[in-house]
Amino acid sequence: VNDVVTESRVIEIPTDKLINRNPATGEVIGEYKIASPDEVRAAVAHARVAQAAWAQVPLRKRVAVIRRFMALLTEKKESVAATINAEAGKPRVEALLTEVMVVLDWARFCAQNAYRVMREESLSHGNLVMKTKRGMLVSEPVGVVGIIAPWNYPFSIPATETLAALVTGNAVVIKPSELTPNSALKLAELLHEAGVPEAAVQVVIGYGPTGSALISGGIDKVVFTGSVATGKRVAAAAAEQLIPCLLELGGKDAMLVLEDADVDVAASAAVWGAMVNAGQTCISVERCYVHDSIYTPFVEACADKITKLTIGNGADDDVCVGPMISTRQLEIVESQVEDARSRGAHVVVGGKRLPALGEHYYAPTLITGIDRSMRLMQEETFGPVLPVIPFDKDEEAIAMANDSEFGLAASVWSGDSGHGERIARRISAGAVMVNDVISQFGISEAPHGGVKKSGIGRAHGLMGLREMVVQKYIAVERLPRVKRLWWYSYGKQFEHQMLAFVDMMFAKGTSRLTGALKSTPALWRKRL
């Protein structure tokens, strides 16, 4: 076994086999051999060979493969949702909504926009002396992209990143979370069936060390989604290899409910936004700031709605909130709620485990009486907890929302969309929604990513596709038989001429120009 030191304790992790369990029932749903560092390196080497061929496949054929994948996923949506439900615990309908549909729409976006990203662009030159060159930008795939994924969206996260990489001509090696390997295996199976060569999409299974083996295994870029703590290790390891990294990290998203918001609609949004996927969503509502004038009815509405949620195994039709992924994640949530309670916070609803349902259930929790010293306000909670905090002036709400080391997403709620938009512009986050929450993840055109400690780079949108290419500049000189004026040799006359050119291009007046131009033919003849 390897030892992995987390912030709070040392966890022993196996090096031979990985056992996958259903978080709702504890039932074993898969057993896998862990990929050794040599196997990871070999996977990357195979991917490199496959990538060279895949990049030569004409774009329209790669797009056709993506469209076949869409058709297959549409056909097999129920079994994919069932796979996700069985290993991540979320309700099947949520798996359809937040994973399958997100991936289908992203595949649609890739198919429609890959041409735009891969199209060669001509580049006109502003500099007078460079006008004899024809410039162009050529987009090329990065090469072999290593994708390290978390457990909370075990299908949609690796799928969106993989599709972006494939359509632009890259090969991919995916290291799924140790808690949810089946969804990534299902993704690879569907892609292979759609026509992606086996070696162009591979899955390596294991814990953190398998992820680090991937980063040092010869990849050209790492795309990481996970916690800030691991993200820092990934960035350091990528720096060691001098490869670029895209980091999609944690969040502490604020929801600002302004004086003129619809209380009932905003309360429904807060409850869904905080509890969807049992709160284990990077852009879930983690802090809800509500104007004093509507604070009491808002808290009452949230309490009422939370009490009505059905909690249980997400495989059952009526269940709204499933289990948490693991005991470890449950303990983090529990310790933050206890910290808040011990400092005077008031648990309005929930605030306890639900052992009668199983080992990993935590009651959807509404909590008030919060202040910024509490861990619940500082750290990512990643559980079904909705802290509600009153405010008096918009300025105060903006300051509290921005008072975080995270900056992933946020939402603003107002009956006046102009008012909401003005506040949205002042929130430090990668995305802010006015009168909606979380759904930007399902808008393929919208770039997804954070500021501050929430990450570096963007997934989704054109920016997400462009993360998977490198732009090469090519310049073709139109006068191949003419020597450049700035080549050797140098001398006083050449210096005068350069001074004149600088003046001509960047200074007012052209005093030196005439003399300089006169001497040009003579200088040209002197070029070595």
DSSP letter for 358, please.
Answer: -
Q: Can residue 148 be called a binding residue for ligand NAD (CB under 6 A)?
A: yes
Q: Can residue 155 be called a binding residue for ligand NAD (CB under 6 A)?
A: no
Q: Given the rule CB under 6 A, which of 25-33, 124-132, 246-254, 305-313 is the region that contacts ligand NAD?
A: 246-254
Q: How many residues are recorded in the chain?
A: 528
Q: Can residue 378 be called a binding residue for ligand NAD (CB under 6 A)?
A: no
Report in angstroms how near the CB of residue 6 gets to ligand NAD at its nearest: 8
Instruction: Convert residues 197-226 into a mask of x (bound to ligand NAD by CB under 6 A) and - (unbound).
Output: ----------xx--xx--x---------xx
Residues 268-297, interacting with ligand NAD (CB under 6 A): 282
Alpha carbon distance 125, 193 (integer Å): 46
Q: Can residue 461 be called a binding residue for ligand NAD (CB under 6 A)?
A: no
Alpha-carbon distances of 450 from 139, 407, 432, rounded to whole Å: 25, 5, 11
Q: Can residue 152 be called a binding residue for ligand NAD (CB under 6 A)?
A: yes
Q: Given the rule CB under 6 A, which of 142-150, 292-300, 474-482, 487-495 is the region that contacts ligand NAD?
A: 142-150
CA angle 57, 60, 66 (to 5 degrees): 90
Among 94, 220, 334, 380, binds ligand NAD (CB under 6 A): 380
**Does the active-site annotation cover 248?**
yes
Alpha carbon distance 483, 479 (integer Å): 9
- Nearer to ligand NAD by C-beta: 207 or 391? 207
Q: Which H/E stretch holds residue 18? A: strand 17-21
Q: Given the rule CB under 6 A, which of 61-69, 149-157, 352-360, 489-497 is the region that contacts ligand NAD?
A: 149-157
Among 46, 62, 90, 175, binds ligand NAD (CB under 6 A): 175
Alpha carbon distance 387, 389 (integer Å): 7
**Does the active-site annotation cover 198?**
no
Torsion of CA 250, 256, 261, 263, to 10 degrees: 70
Nearest residue to ligand NAD by CB is 211
DSSP letter for 246, please.
Answer: E
DSSP string, 478-528: S-TTS--TTSSPP-HHHHHHHHHHHHHHHSS--TTHHHHHHHHHHHHHT--
- Nearer to ligand NAD by C-beta: 197 or 464? 464
Alpha carbon distance 385, 363 (integer Å): 9
Evaluate the omega torsion of the peptide bond into residue 489 and state whether it is cis, within 30 degrees of 0: yes
Q: Can residue 150 be called a binding residue for ligand NAD (CB under 6 A)?
A: yes
Among 251, 312, 351, 364, binds ligand NAD (CB under 6 A): 251
- Nearer to ligand NAD by C-beta: 5 or 528? 5
Report in angstroms how near the CB of residue 247 gets to ligand NAD at its nearest: 8
- Nearer to ligand NAD by C-beta: 233 or 419? 233
Residues 440-459, interacting with ligand NAD (CB under 6 A): 450, 455
| Three-class SS of 303-350 | HHHHHCCCECCCCCCCCCECCCCCHHHHHHHHHHHHHHHHCCCEEEEC
Alpha carbon distance 94, 441 (integer Å): 13
Alpha-carbon distances of 315 from 87, 183, 186, 323, rounded to whole Å: 11, 16, 18, 11
Closest-CA residue to 89 (of 159, 13, 157, 27)? 27
Q: Can residue 106 be called a binding residue for ligand NAD (CB under 6 A)?
A: no
- Nearer to ligand NAD by C-beta: 361 or 382? 382
Taking a C-beta distance cutoff of 8 angstroms, is the pair 292, 326 a contact? no
Q: How many residues bind ligand NAD (CB under 6 A)?
A: 31
Alpha carbon distance 413, 301 (integer Å): 15
- Nearer to ligand NAD by C-beta: 345 or 409? 409
202 CB-contact burial (10 Å; exposed 0-12 / middle 13-18 / buried 19+): buried
Among 25, 36, 216, 227, binds ligand NAD (CB under 6 A): 227
Q: Given the rule CB under 6 A, which of 8-16, 34-42, 72-80, 175-183 is the region that contacts ligand NAD?
A: 175-183
The single residue of 87, 94, 161, 248 carrying the catalytic annotation is: 248
**Any idea which residues carry the catalytic annotation?**
248, 282
Residues that bind ligand NAD (CB under 6 A): 148-153, 157, 175, 177-178, 207-208, 211-212, 215, 225-227, 230, 233-234, 248-251, 282, 380, 382, 408, 450, 455
